[in-house]
Structure 1
Amino acid sequence: MSDSKHRLAYIYVFLGAALWGIIGLFIEELSQAGFSAFQIVTLRVVSASVMLVLFVVLKNTELLKIDLKDSMSFIGTGIFSIVFFNWAYFTAIEEVSLSVAVLLLYTGPAFVVILSRFFFKEPMTSRKVGALVLTLLGCVLVVKVFPIGIEHVSWYGISVGLGSGFGYALYSIFGKHALKKYHPLTVITYTFVFASAVMLPVSGIAISTSDLQSTHVWMNILGLGFFPTALAYYLYTMGLSMVESGRASIAATVEPLVATLLGVFVFNDVLTAFQVVGMLLVLAAVVLVQFKNADTLK
C-alpha cells in the first residue's frame, strides 16, 4: 500500500471515531425527550438502516446483492457486535459506574489484535502491543477510573463490561472478513438491517404519536442515525478495508478523547490534569500504531 493510501486509511478511521465521539449530543437530547437507553439504540440502528438502504438504492442497487451463505458475516457485525455490545454496555453501566463501563468497552482493541492474529494472521508487533498499553492507560485516565478508583466492584458488571469490549471488537473481525468480498456500503447497510431486525422486537420500544410530532425530536433522530452512525461506520469501514483491523481499532480510540472534549466545550465539564495526560497517551498510541514497519513478537 502506498504511503498516501496508508494515511488516507487513518484519516477515515479518525473521522469515523470522531463522529462516534459526538453521539452524546444526540443521546442527551433524546433522553430529555423521554426515550430510554435501549429505545435510543433502536432509533439509532433503524434510522441508520433506512438511510443506508435508500442511499444504496439511489446509488447502485447492485450493492444490495449478497450471497445468502455470506449472511453470517452481517449477523456477526449487526447482531453479535452492534446488538450484543450495546446490551452489554448498558448492562455494565447499570452494574458499575459509567466511567468503568466505558473503560471496559475500550478493551475492544486488545480483543481485535488477539483475534486478528488468529483469524487474519496479522502480526503481533512490539509497537502494536505498546500502543495497546498506552491506550489502556490513557483510557483509564480519560474516563477518570484513576485516581478515583473502584470500590465495591460488581464482578458481573466487570464480566458484562468485558463482554461489551468483545462485542465491540467483533465488528472489526466480521467486518474485515466481509470486506474481502463486499463494498463498505454493502457491509454497513446489512449490518444495520440485521441489527434493526433484532432490536425492533426485543427493545420494547413503544413510541406514541406525540413523541414524534416534535421537529426537534426528528432532527435528533435523523442526526443520530446519520452522523455518529451511518457516516461514522462508513468512514471507519473504509479505513478498515485499507489497514489491519488491529491497527484500525487502536486508532479509533480517539473516540473517548472527542467525547471528553465535547463534554468540556458543550456541557461545561472540567478537564483534569490526569485526563490531559490520558489524552496524550492515547494520541501517542495512535501515532505509534501507524508505523508500518515493526518487529514481530515471536
Structure 2
Amino acid sequence: MLSQRQSIIGLGAIIFACFFWGTTGTVASFTLNVSPLATGAFAMGGGGLLLVLTALKNLFSDKYKLVANYPIMLLGGLSVAVYPLAFYSSMRLSGVALGTVVSIASAPFATVLLEWLISKKPISKKWLKSFAIGAVGVLLLAMSKGEVSESGTHIYNHYLGIMLGLLAGFTYALYSWAAREMIEQGIHSKSAMASMFGLASLLLLPSLIITGDNLFASTKNAAVALYMAFVPMFLGYLLFGYGLRFIAASEATLLTLLEPAVATLMAVVVVGEKIFTIGWLGILLIMVCMLIQMPKRIVSSA
C-alpha cells in the first residue's frame, strides 16, 4: 500500500515533467531554419543517451529482468522513436492546433484502453469524467489559437496529419504503458525509461543526417537543442518514470493534458502571443481535470 507522501510525490513528479515539456514550443521558437523533425529527433535521442548514462548502475542490476521483459522493452523503445516524428509531422500537415489536440488528447484514452485490454485494469467513472473535461479543455485551448498550417488546407495532408496525430497519441500511450509494466515487474524506473529511450536513440540520432541541417549552425540553435535534450527530455522523462512508480499509466497520461496549458501560458508570457477567452476557459477545464484526479490518489493511498 502506497503512503500518502509517496502518492503526492508521484503526482508532483508527473506535474513537474509536464511543466518541463510545456516549455518546448516556446524554446523551439527561438531557432532559425531548423526542422521540427530534427529538433524532436535530437531532443528525444539526446535525452535518451543521458538517461542511459545516468542509469548504468540500474541497468546492470536489472539486466536479467530487462532480458526477461525484452518484448515490452522493444515495443516501448520503438514507440519512443516513432512518437516525436509522428507528433511533429502531424502538426506540420494538419496544423499546430489540430495536431496538438489529436496527439495529446488521444494518448490518455489509448493508455486506459491498453490497461483495460492487456493489463485487465478496470476503467473508473472518475477517470472517464476527468478525461472528458480535460479533452474538452485541450480542444478549446487549441481553438483559441486559431493556428492552421498552409499545408493543412489540402484535404489529403489534413487527414494524413490527423492519422499521424492518432499514431503519436498511441505510441505515447504504448511507451507509458510499457514503462509501467516493466516497473510492476520489479524493474527500476530509471532502467525502464533508459532502456526504452536508449533503444530509440539508436533510431532517432542517425536520422539527423537527413533532417539535422542548421541544428548547430548558431549558438542560439545549439543552446536550444541542448536545452531540449537535457531539460524536457532527460529531466522530464526521469521525473515521468519516477511518477509511474506510484501512478497508473492511464492516470499519468491523463495528467499530461496539463502540458498544452503550460505551453500556452509560456507562449503568452515569454513570446507575447494572445489567446481568446475560450482558451482561458480551456485552461480552467484542464485545471478541473487535474483536481478531479488528485484527491483520488491522495485519499486512496492514506
Distance 1:47 1:148 in 2: 29
Contact 1:122-1:244 within 8 A present in 2 as well = no
Distance 1:7 1:136 in 2: 24
Contact 1:143-1:275 within 8 A present in 2 as well = yes
Amino acid at match of 1:39: A
**Alignment-derived partner of residue 8 in structure 1:** 9
Measured against aligned partners, the alpha-carbon deviations of 1:7-49 in whole angstroms (never above 9, x if no partner) come to 111111100111111112432234x1x3212221221123213
SS in 2 for 1:292: helix
More helix by share: 2
**Alignment-derived partner of residue 86 in structure 1:** 84
| Residues 1:164 and 2:153 are matched in the alignment | no
* Equivalent residues in 2 for 1:1-298, closer than 5 Å: 1-30=2-31, 32=32, 34-57=33-56, 62-63=60-61, 65-66=63-64, 67-80=66-79, 82-106=80-104, 107-144=106-143, 154-180=158-184, 181-205=186-210, 212=216, 214-292=218-296
Specify whether residues 29 and 147 from structure 1 end up closer, same or farther in structure 2 by C-alpha distance, changes over 3 A only.
Answer: closer
Specify whether residues 192 and 136 from structure 1 end up closer, same or farther in structure 2 by C-alpha distance, changes over 3 A only.
Answer: same
SS in 1 for 2:257: helix
Distance 1:206 1:158 in 2: 22
Distance 2:240 2:256 in 1: 8
Contact 1:112-1:173 within 8 A present in 2 as well = yes
When the two chains are superposed, the root-mean-square deviation of aligned CA atoms in Å is 2.7
Measured against aligned partners, the alpha-carbon deviations of 1:225-248 in whole angstroms (never above 9, x if no partner) come to 111001101111111110121111
Distance 1:27 1:65 in 2: 36
TM (norm. structure 2) is 0.85
Q: How many residues align?
A: 288
Identity %: 22
Measured against aligned partners, the alpha-carbon deviations of 1:251-280 in whole angstroms (never above 9, x if no partner) come to 121101100000000110113210111011
Contact 1:84-1:164 within 8 A present in 2 as well = yes
Amino acid at match of 1:240: L
Gaps spanning 5+ residues in structure 1: where? 294-298
SS in 2 for 1:16: helix
Q: CA deviation at 1:93?
A: 1.9
Distance 1:219 1:146 in 2: 27
Q: CA deviation at 1:95?
A: 2.4
Amino acid at match of 2:271: F
Measured against aligned partners, the alpha-carbon deviations of 1:178-212 in whole angstroms (never above 9, x if no partner) come to 1123111112212221111111334544657x964
Q: CA deviation at 1:97?
A: 1.3
Contact 1:56-1:63 within 8 A present in 2 as well = no
TM (norm. structure 1) is 0.86
Distance 1:213 1:104 in 2: 33
Gaps spanning 5+ residues in structure 2: where? 298-302
SS in 2 for 1:271: coil
